[in-house]
Chain A
């Protein structure tokens, strides 16, 4: 499978009243065609900033740099607006978190669904409409034809999110960036929508970057996982590998503090990660997790290297001084 999205050393800085906030501090990741990569992390880790950077939707004050941010070979940084607009909506699309506010209340659903595809040269209105109806049907919305004439406020949250998914699929994109698309939905609806995203992804061969904070969701739908903490990717691996043997202390801590039936004794104390995320304003150096890590020592004052802990041609990176490389090959990435 070829590489669709390649990101190297992405950095996002935001000037604030108290200094420069280093929201994203040099992350690398790749997405292959047709695979589901989950970016998982808690609030403040920079995962949303990453998605906004990829789509070119960062706030004006933000400063975004990268060694490479290439979509199917095309470098995204510095791309003129016109070309970026062509890419967005046609080959890359985004699903946002809040279904209540991500649709424009002044336009009908049909209008919004067809908007992006009509920009494509050589498509007729009829074709676009037909595709819209087909996709609405595929996302489980009944009476698709009538729905085209409805307005967003006439639908519930779950339905709106399905419309958003249909909208994201309209132009047959190669990559969908989904920023916590099911967080605001009920648990039962969430499960249904996730199943649908997975099925549609497999059917259309779309690659998905799925951003979430919910490890349960990650374990069920991901192909590969990248764990983010304080602006960096601290671990990345296949989903089974990550849950079976997490290499980074943060990932281990995260997995340990979730109560799981059968694993944690009800009523017992959960293994919480002590401390809080350090401030990312101003100069940040060394391992950013060291103030909360049981394994931390003097060596952790230095920026930790990205180590491949898996044998053979498997890949399981962990950004930690204590992680041991399976073979002697270490990949020294600048933090």
Chain B
């Protein structure tokens, strides 16, 4: 995978690292992306601001998996929504394959960037069959004849490991792991370059999670995909990614290669996150790094 030290200069990252390997192909680039919400505090008070995403700049190189970690409220989901065109950014630009795009023009961008969401129970329309769900993108973009579309649907469902008898079934007849496979099939049928995986295995059982993670690894190798992998599960992140970006309160506080982050993290928030991640190793107890319950 991508072992080049391709760090970028980030305004909010405390460690400045030189930009290297300019020749590397950049699949997705965010430039000072911001999303600011203004709160009205009543008629006579000044309105407040919440910076959900605070001038985030990031580069995603083709073929790499970039992990985005952080806790709830750090802005990673907001960032994902902006990239998918579900929210309009307040400032900043997004470049896909070197070209600036308007992320809200969904139809144009759909063929480059697709999501996989967290909740397998609500990410599929309960009133549509599996074949209809997976075939919808082709229909909307009018790709191929009806027969060709059916063939593409079969191919992709076969690829994600869904048996033929499930094609006419409804989501409530499938298990969580199967639903997630359908969601992956739907995301891939337009042959995008970039997949935004927003906690794709967090709602699944551990044994199913392993199957889905294996599937994601296989698909990435087969199609040369680029993943932005958002998760709070550091064990999974460590297994899957090349680089890690740590997000806290809307900004990226650290961005390093996987090895560096997990062996020698610099930012105190990253350290706290790492020490809170409980790996299944008995005898370690709850560790000295875990702070006393903070008086809040």
Q: Which residues of A contact B (CB under 8 A)?
A: 42-43, 139-142, 156, 158-159, 162, 186-188, 190-196, 198, 213-222, 239-240, 242-244, 253-255, 257-261, 264, 266-267, 269-273, 276
Contact = CB atoms under 8 A, between A and B. Distances in A.
A141 B240 contact: no
Given A141-B295, A260-B279, A43 B205 contact: yes
Contacts of A243: 280-282
Contacts of B101: none
B280 A218 contact: yes
Interface residues of B, number: 47
Nearest to B283: A240
A17 to B, nearest CB: 13
A215 B206 contact: yes
A187 B214 contact: no
B1 interface: yes
B120 to A, nearest CB: 12
A191 B279 contact: no
Contact of A272 (B175, B207, B286): B207
B239 interface: yes
Interface in B42-81: 71-72
B278 to A, nearest CB: 4
Nearest to B69: A187
Contacts of A258: 206, 210, 235, 280
Nearest to B213: A270
Interface stretch (B123-131, B151-159, B269-277): B269-277
Interface of B: 1, 71-72, 175-177, 205-211, 213-214, 217, 232, 234-236, 238-240, 258, 262, 272-273, 275-287, 290-296
Contacts of B287: 220
B238 A261 contact: yes
Given A140-B295, A140-B296, A187-B71, A255 B290 contact: no
A162 B296 CA distance: 11
A188 B272 contact: yes
Contact of B294 (A192, A215, A219, A266): A192
B207 A253 contact: yes
Contact of A213 (B175, B205, B240, B293): B205
A196 to B, nearest CB: 5
A219 B207 contact: no
B5 to A, nearest CB: 17
Nearest to B275: A191
Given A188-B272, A216-B278, A220-B278, A42 B207 contact: yes
A159 B296 contact: yes
B230 to A, nearest CB: 14
Given A220-B278, A261-B262, A276-B175, A140 B293 contact: yes
Nearest to B284: A220
Contacts of A216: 235, 277-280
A190 B276 contact: yes
A261 B282 CA distance: 14
